[in-house]
A and B are shown apart, each in its own frame.
Chain A
């Protein structure tokens, strides 16, 4: 309106006609109402909006549960320690631990021992020795007491009621406190499994997978015989002062076991035994094997090691795939609206690939040796370049003139679509895992929340959309497939490169928007860093 000049005739025309009007006919509203879509009830609106969120939450729950199960399965793999086993007899063996007979301990004793092992995963001096004070009197309470022994309390108790007993006593020289002089010998593998040759029923010790096959009370009663001897490699680690307990020893120590040790040193005074370790090897006897669950204690530190936080960002080449048929709204009249639709559809067909970008913050969890799961938050911008626009005027839409579309001179326009994403990625590592460079496959889905953008709507005019009021779906889903390259810079730090392709599963415009259905897709390389917690 810059070229307007005052004119009396035009001013008079405007004064007379600007507010001129006439009453429309009464049936006109009925015709209009018949062409409008039926009103959507508020509950339906809420339900429709909530449905994707509920589905997304359900998907996340299922994926989390599946990942957790995979993790549990990966941790429960058996590992058998090669024989011969080394068992340490701690000073607190007679009292701090107890092994009940199958009849007295029962199944309930097993979890408690397993709990004890978990509670002392890293203690260097803890002695989780298991002994049989009396096969017939050991109770569940004994086991509970035994499992609650702490390293510091174990040392303090050694000096008290568990002093060396006179010769002939079962605990004898080993009860005065012990210290593992040779920790290597004192360490017992988590997968060790004790098995006695007496062929007696086994007793689960530790977790449910643990089993210690013990002789019966009758077998132990013959403490002086070969049958009653400890049929394992035994390291007697008497302590000079009871300073440190045997490291991670889960030795099943029994009364007959102690007796067998004294058999090997029948004349040894208690002081001599207390001053130096005595190793008793009996390779001819059946080797004990203790099989414990991997989650008892030794793998506890590995749980923390599997978590990583990674930050990724990078450019992406994005475009959109137009659907086969334009969306049609049966309630809309043909004619004008179809005419405008055709402009917009032509507008969309002329769009070309452009560059967007993406940034993500993810938490990654290694499920097994090769599988991993990562999720987090991201920001993604899709863009496309338009070679021409129908009309760049924001005040007037284009109209049909002389039966053809009148397009303004070509002018570039960049349509953008911005999303907040929740990426969920499954990774599968390929190749060897020992080197600095690792690589693998990535696949997953993204939940994309439309944040806004700048694109042409129904009026074929570029418009800056916000979250609300846009002709696009607020929530979309996309699938991603890519590669994962990792190069370890330091013990905790890795450089990441993830070439990834993404495709929208659903059409971005709403079904009733009248816009041509189109699916966004893009391919790019995300670069970033990964910090690994240990």
Chain B
């Protein structure tokens, strides 16, 4: 059951800065649901996502004094979740190197799907579909489409060129459409 979306008040943050456990738990309950969703979209599996969520909250509580009140607190916490999850992805990639495959081959000669194909998918199915994308594609697609980052910000965040971000996004889109189409055709009678 997702908690209602309401801005985090300053009193709760002040109590968290003082280290009050009850306040920290209250903030955790308000943020954990959606932040786990963020981590699940980037991390390769749920265990990695839970570890990323754990590190996210540790960072949130230990660096609350760095929140300047510029913008909603949820957005600040979400950015921490994104960077933490991205770091988890990087660590996972270093620990489990996979043989390189040309992602372009994955999207070649596949039919494209209409955006309405997304409507027929449950969120969990859509997330599972995203997880079939190569990590680089999935990351750029999530950052651009869901988080709303610009290509310049993505480039700075990932340490890649801005053109690389654009090309990876285009390929990710093409691959996602093809997989959506494949899944859509499989569901047709």
Contacts and interface: CB of A to CB of B under 8 A. Distances in A.
| Chain B contact surface mostly | helix
B157 A399 contact: yes
Interface in B34-79: 34-38, 40-41, 50, 53-55, 57-59, 61-63, 65-66, 68, 79
A399 B37 contact: no
A8 interface: yes
Given A21-B33, A399-B87, A401-B158, A39 B20 contact: yes
Contacts of B24: 33, 36
Secondary structure call for the A interface: loop
A331 B36 CA distance: 22
B54 A28 contact: yes
Counting contact residues on chain B (CB < 8 A from A), the size range is 35 or more
Interface in B144-167: 144-146, 148-153, 156-160
B153 A36 contact: no
A18 B36 contact: no
Interface in B1-55: 1-2, 5, 18-21, 24-25, 28, 32-38, 40-41, 50, 53-55
Contacts, number: 182
Contact of A19 (B2, B32, B90, B149): B2
Nearest to A32: B57
A328 to B, nearest CB: 13
B66 A401 contact: no
A432 interface: no
B101 interface: no
Interface residues of A, number: 64
A18 B146 contact: yes
Given A36-B19, A393-B153, A17 B158 contact: no
Contacts of A459: 63, 66
Contacts of B123: 16-17, 20
B173 to A, nearest CB: 6
Contacts of B150: 1-4
B50 A25 contact: yes
Interface of A: 1-4, 7-14, 16-25, 28-29, 31-33, 35-40, 42, 45, 329, 331-333, 335-337, 339, 391, 393, 395-403, 406, 408, 457-459, 463, 468-471
8 contacts: A20-B123, A29-B28, A32-B54, A32-B57, A335-B55, A393-B156, A393-B157, A399-B86
Interface of B: 1-2, 5, 18-21, 24-25, 28, 32-38, 40-41, 50, 53-55, 57-59, 61-63, 65-66, 68, 79, 83-84, 86-88, 90-91, 94, 115, 118-119, 121, 123, 126-127, 130, 141-142, 144-146, 148-153, 156-160, 173, 176-177
